[in-house]
Chain A
Amino acid sequence: MSEAAQQEQRTGRFIREPAKRVFAAEFREIAHQFREGTDEWSPTYSLLPTGERCSRVCIAGTLTDVQKSEGEALFYRARVVDPTGTFFLNVGSYQAEAMHQIEKLTPPLFVLVVGKPNLYASPDGRNLVSLRAEMIASVEKDVRDCWIIETAQRTLDRLDRPDDGDKIKALSLHPQEPAVWRKIVHAALNSMQI
């Protein structure tokens, strides 16, 4: 049963958290996760450097690599590349649907992935961000192109939004000039003119 279905059974009526659109260059800079509410089901949010919280993201790009890991528990690691960088995917047995989907995929392929950001510290103290995939779909190039346009728009929307609590917090953690993000968005859009 999907997570959505389980939650639906629990609460009667459930509104799904939207999956924020984010480029790899911004995703890998996530440095802050937090929870609001002490409720067992309150989601963990990640703060996007452009100033918005997300509990889920939707990404697209080229699946370049899939590796199966058979240790104590079976899981997959994969890489998805968008015009701005690389997403690191983890697919474990808790995401049965995504696991079933990734087993069938041979790179290179265009994929669209929905999942949850996962932030952890490497032994040398750096932040690492991976994506715990919930759904992976092998898609047409047109879908990837739609996603680049939509993600460009959502990223600019975040940059152009008035400052609120999340944005002020993000600015304190990510002192980059907004112009840096604009350049990344611009380059991503331009990458499609081939």
Chain B
Amino acid sequence: MEIEEIADRIIATFAEKGQTLDRDEVIGRLSRFIHEFGIPPNEAERSAMNDFAKRFDLESEFASISAAPSEQAEKVITPLASGVAHDIIHIEGTVMRLFDPRSPTVAQSGVLRDASAEMTFTIWADAKMPKVEAGSSYRFTDVEISEFNEKLSFKVSGRSTITPIEPTIPISTQEHGEAGPSVGDGSQKSDISRVADCTPEEWVSLEGIILKLFEPRSPSIAQSGIFADVSGEMGFTIWARANAPKVEEGSFYRFSNVVIDEYNNRLSFKVHSGSSLLPLEGNDTPALPRTSIGDATSGLVSIEGKIISIANPQSQSLAQVGVIADESGGIRFSLFQGDNITPLEDNNWYKIEYASVSEYKGSLSLRLSSYTKITKIEEDRALVPAITPIHELRQGVFSIRGKVIQEWEPNHERLLQSGLLGDETGTIRFTIWKDDNMGRLESDMVYKIFYTNVSIFNDQFSITLNGSTYLPEEGATISVPSQETMVEGVLVNVIQGSGLIKRCPVEGCGKALSRQNLCFEHDIQSTWEYDLRIRAWLDDGMETWEITLPAEVVTKLTGISITSAKETAENNPLGPDAVLYEITDMLQGRYFECTGMLIDKRLFASECHVRSYDPQKQAELLNRCDVNE
């Protein structure tokens, strides 16, 4: 019997140290590990040895059986120049050359360079590493430096790793085209393409405006910056060898025979010696038809709209920001310092031509620049805001009509209210920060919210009402569809505000009181209603949900009722914490299936069951493994 052999081995080891062990005890302990817990025999032996060592104070004699290796420093990258023979180091560099392997035991060899030096390297065939490529940069870990003929090199073995990294050494920029002073006269007006339709390596001609110029980062570049036409914007580079005339920010040009290039999934165009460029002025500037604000996409636009709001710019480089809208929708606009534009006036209509729309962090905004033509429209036009159904919302400025269907307990001192608004098509979270002008929304009331900024927070759309106009619609109703959902997973963490809690006794409030009996709305209370609830994270390995279990569900799962919890809290020195610890020990680390209203990753459970072992699933998965026994 294996167990008896192990037992005898343990007894013999301790006998050498002058200690006697009871054979039945050793066997009993081993068989409990192996049979009851299904532990492999070697691990059972190790664990038993360790326990007996503790008993006789011999732990130091058995250093090799320590529970876990101790933590060491993180991997440090060593410069090649400081490599010493026989060191095992981690390095980063660019493969400059590869040699033909001189033996079947060598997979690859070559020269690696970092900022400090160059070194030859050998990747053993046994190491079974992915191939490295000349010109690419890699991180090599656990490579050994060796010395031969007074030259150092490093060897990549099976315990090393090779990881591709971003280039560590700039590789010289390549230039298109040939040297030559020929700058086209731009007279051959070929077909003009649109930025949005360009594809990599295509030769095109484009007409539009220079939005921005950058400092050239290399002597081979004359100018680079951002260009826009009606359909969008694109980076551009004018090679020094193109000998092209200088372009200016805010001016219109026709670029002929430029090449579209792709880098990091972004397109740009290169102006080389075969290209030509021509300034466009007056009647030559491309005509822009009026765009509805709701349909605007990146690029140059002309619009007509009303200034809805003006806000204080948060950045010193901005002169003015605000929202402009027409009947199709709204958009944020900005004016930059230094563009010398007369600030726009609130509530006025303007015709704005040659402004650029660009996308920043997923949201469109309109930039008015020195080249933008701004005309005030004197007549006062009516503006009926376009209401967008909630499920069609994107990032940007929108008007919404929705009902307050949920309010959440504030978890930040500056927060006045947060919750959910819903319409027939969906729900969106709203937030109101404390501010003298702001009041709370009423539960179940329908509100119209005009030109509010929709942003993304934690992968969910959300709106902040501060700065927006909103009106209640007395007597209006919206039916927000709801459905019960089931989520399942391990209850991994019980969070604050769980256990036996006190609720505010003020009619219609019922908010949880803080430890100091403070109600968020009604100040300190001297009486309260007790309640039992659990807030926790449920985790299925792919997603997490914040679940709330009300008293009935907690009682069903734990057998603890509000009454028994009150008794425990009164009779235990830990007070209500005793209840929380008891419940946490029962629930944490267990599998549950919870059903309830799921909104925005929060589930208010109406039912909750313990999940148990499923032999059928086990059989299905055994088949799925596709292993022949």
With a CB–CB cut-off of 8 A, which chain A residues contact B611?
A: 146
The CA of A112 and the CA of B591, in the complex, are separated in Å by 10
Pair B588/A2 contact, Cβ less than 8 Å? no
Q: Which residues of A contact B429 (CB under 8 A)?
A: 13
CB distance from B55 to the nearest CB of A (A): 14
- Which residues of B from 521 to 542 have beta carbons under 8 Å from A? 537, 539-542
Inter-chain contact B542/A88, CB cutoff 8 Å: no
Binary per-residue interface labels of chain B (32-44) against chain A in the complex, 1 for a CB within 8 Å, 0 otherwise? 1100111110011
Bound complex: CA A30 to CA B544 (Å): 23
**B residues less than 8 Å from A89 (CB atoms):** 68
Is there contact, CB below 8 Å, between B67 and A78?
A: yes
For chain A, residues 138 to 161, give those with C-beta under 8 angstroms from any C-beta of chain B: 138-139, 142-143, 145-147, 149-150, 152-154, 156
Given contacts A120-B73, A156-B624, whether A18 and B68 have CB atoms under 8 Å apart is no
Q: How far is the CB of A157 from chain B (nearest CB, A)?
A: 9
Q: Known A64-B33, A128-B69, A173-B161; judge A4-B537 contact (CB<8 A).
A: yes
CA distance A179 to B142 in the complex (A): 27
- The answer to whether B212 has its CB under 8 Å from any CB of chain A is no
Q: Is B471 in contact with chain A by the CB < 8 A criterion?
A: no
Is there an interface contact between B163 and A58, defined as CB atoms closer than 8 Å? no
Q: Contacts of B163 on A, CB cut-off 8 Å?
A: 32, 169, 172-173
Q: How would residues 411 to 437 of chain B score, 1 for a CB under 8 Å from any chain A CB and 0 otherwise?
A: 110010010000000000101000000
- Which of chain A's residues have a CB closer than 8 A to the CB of B33? 62, 64, 108
Closest to B581 in A: A100
* Cβ-defined contact, B541 with A18, below 8 A: yes
Q: Which residues of B contact A139 (CB under 8 A)?
A: 589-590
B69: chain A residues at CB < 8 Å are 88, 122, 128, 130
Q: Say whether B624 contacts A108, CB under 8 Å.
A: no
Q: Kindly state whether residue B267 has any CB partner on chain A within 8 Å.
A: no
Contact residue among B142, B412, B493 (Cβ-Cβ distance under 8 Å from A4) = B493
Contacts A149-B617, A186-B627 known; A81 to B495 CB distance under 8 Å? Answer: no
Within 8 A of A (CB), among B563-616: 585, 588-591, 601, 611-614
**C-alpha gap A134/B589 in the complex (Å):** 12
Q: Is A8 an interface residue (CB 8 A)?
A: yes
Chain A residue, CB-CB nearest to B36: A108
| B17 touches A (CB below 8 Å) | no
In the complex, B75 has a CB within 8 A of chain A: yes
Cα–Cα, bound, A136→B546 (Å):
19
With A58-B539, A173-B161 known as contacts, the answer to whether A81 contacts B613 (CB < 8 A) is: no
Cα-based distance from A95 to B263 in the complex (angstroms): 44
Contacts of B626 in A (CB 8 A): 182
In the bound complex, do residue B68 and residue A90 qualify as a contact, i.e. CB atoms below 8 Å apart?
yes
Find out whether the CB atom of B72 lies under 8 angstroms from the CB atom of A78. no
Min CB distance, A92 to chain B, in Å?
9
Minimum Cβ distance to chain A for residue B34 (Å): 10
Interface centre among B128, B130, B541 (most CB of A within 10 A): B541
Q: Is the CB of A18 within 8 A of B543?
A: yes
Determine if B73 and A143 form an interchain contact, defined as CB atoms under 8 angstroms apart.
no
- Chain A residues with CB under 8 Å of B214's CB are none
**Is A153 a contact of B621 with CB atoms below 8 Å?**
yes
Q: A31: which B residues are within 8 A, CB to CB?
A: 161
Q: How far is the CA of A106 from the CA of B547 in the complex (A)?
A: 31
A114 to B536, CA, bound (A): 14
Inter-subunit contact B495/A4 (CB<8 Å): yes
Chain A residue with Cβ nearest B412: A12
- The distance from the CB of B138 to the nearest CB of chain A, in whole angstroms, is 10
Residues from chain B with Cβ under 8 Å of A118 in the complex: 71
Closest residue of chain A to B40 (Cβ to Cβ) is A81
Residues of A within 8 A of B46 (CB): 64-65
- Interface digits, B467-506 against A, CB 8 Å rule (1 contact, 0 not)? 0000000000000000000000010110110000000000
Residues in A with CB closer than 8 Å to B360 are none
Distance in Å: Cβ of A119 to nearest Cβ of chain B: 8
Q: Kindly name the residue among A66, A78, A114 whose own CB sees the greatest number of chain B CB atoms within 10 A.
A: A114
A15 touches B71 (CB 8 A): no
Q: Is B625 an interface residue (CB 8 A)?
A: yes
Q: What is the distance, in angstroms, from B431's C-beta to the closest C-beta of chain A? A: 8
Q: Is the CB–CB distance between A108 and B37 below 8 Å?
A: yes
B231-261 CB contacts (< 8 Å) to partner A: none
Taken together as a complex, chains A and B put the C-alpha atoms of A59 and B458 apart, in Å, by 26
Tally B residues with Cβ within 8 Å of A: 73
Interface check A103, CB cutoff 8 A:
no
Q: Hey, which chain B residues are within 8 Å of A83, CB to CB?
A: 38
B146 interface residue (CB < 8 Å to A): no
| CB under 8 Å from chain A, chain B span 154-168 | 159, 161-164
How far, in whole Å, are A62 and B624 apart by their CA atoms in the complex?
26
- B140 shortest CB reach to chain A, Å: 12
Out of B32, B72, B588, B625, which one reaches A137, CB within 8 Å? B588
* B residues in contact with A78, CB < 8 Å: 67-68
A121 and B142 form a contact (CB under 8 A)? yes
A17→B544 CA distance, assembly (Å): 7
Contact across chains for A121 and B495 when beta carbons are under 8 A apart:
no
Check: A14 CB closer than 8 A to any chain B CB.
yes
Chain B residue at minimal CB-CB distance from A191: B38
Complex CA distance for A120 and B544, rounded to whole angstroms: 28
Of the residues B47, B162, B589, contact of A65 by C-beta under 8 Å: B47
B148 touches A (CB below 8 Å): no
Distance in Å: Cβ of A155 to nearest Cβ of chain B: 10
Say whether B150 faces chain A, with CB atoms less than 8 Å apart: no
* Choice from A121, A125, A175 contacting B128 with Cβ under 8 Å: A175
Beta-carbon contact of B495 and A5 below 8 Å: yes
Q: Say yes or no: B541 contacts A149, CB within 8 Å.
A: no
Residues of A close to B379: CB separation below 8 A: none
Determine the residue in chain B with the shortest Cβ distance to A13. B458
Assess whether B68 is in contact with A88, with CB atoms less than 8 Å apart.
Answer: yes
**Contacting pair A108 B39 (CB below 8 A):** yes
With both beta carbons as reference points, the residue of chain B lying nearest to A179 in the complex is identified as B627
Q: Determine whether the beta carbon of B39 is less than 8 Å from that of A81.
A: yes
A88 to B69, CA, bound (A): 8
On chain B, the residues within 8 Å of A185 by CB distance are 621, 625
Tell me whether A18 and B542 are in contact (CB under 8 A): yes
Interface on A for B, CB 8 Å cutoff? 1-2, 4-5, 8-9, 12-21, 31-32, 58, 62, 64-67, 77-79, 81, 83, 86, 88-90, 107-108, 110-112, 114, 118, 120-126, 128, 130, 134-139, 142-143, 145-147, 149-150, 152-154, 156, 169, 172-173, 175, 179, 182-183, 185-186, 189-192, 194
Question: What are 15 A-B contacts defined by CB distance under 8 Å?
Answer: A8-B411, A18-B543, A19-B492, A65-B51, A67-B67, A77-B68, A79-B67, A88-B69, A121-B141, A134-B493, A135-B492, A139-B590, A146-B614, A150-B541, A156-B625
The 8 closest A-B pairs by CB, nearest first: A137-B589, A88-B68, A77-B67, A112-B589, A186-B625, A145-B613, A64-B47, A77-B68
14 further A-B contacts with Cβ under 8 Å, apart from A8-B411, A81-B39, are A8-B496, A64-B33, A66-B67, A67-B66, A78-B68, A90-B68, A108-B33, A120-B74, A121-B141, A137-B590, A146-B614, A156-B624, A175-B130, A179-B627
